Amino acid sequence: RISLVGDWLTLYLVYNPGAAFSFASGATWIFTIIASVVIVVVIRVSRSLGSVWWSLCLGLLLGGAGGNLIDRLVREPSFGQGHVVDFIAYGNLFV
Residues 6+ apart with CB under 8 A from 42: 58, 61, 62, 65
User: Which pLDDT does position 70 carry in this prediction?
Assistant: 95
User: Which pLDDT does position 19 carry in this prediction?
Assistant: 84
C-beta atoms surrounding 28 within 10 Å: 20
pLDDT tens readout for residues 8-49: 999 999 999 888 877 888 888 898 999 999 999 999 999 898
User: Which pLDDT does position 27 carry in this prediction?
Assistant: 84
Residue 88's pLDDT band (cuts 50, 70, 90): very high
Q: Which residue type is seen at 85? A: V
Q: Return d(Cα 92, Cα 78) in angstroms, integer.
A: 30
Phi, then psi, of 48 in degrees rounded to 5: -115, 20
Instruction: Determine if the pTM surpasses 0.85.
Output: no
Residues 6+ apart with CB under 8 A from 49: 55, 58
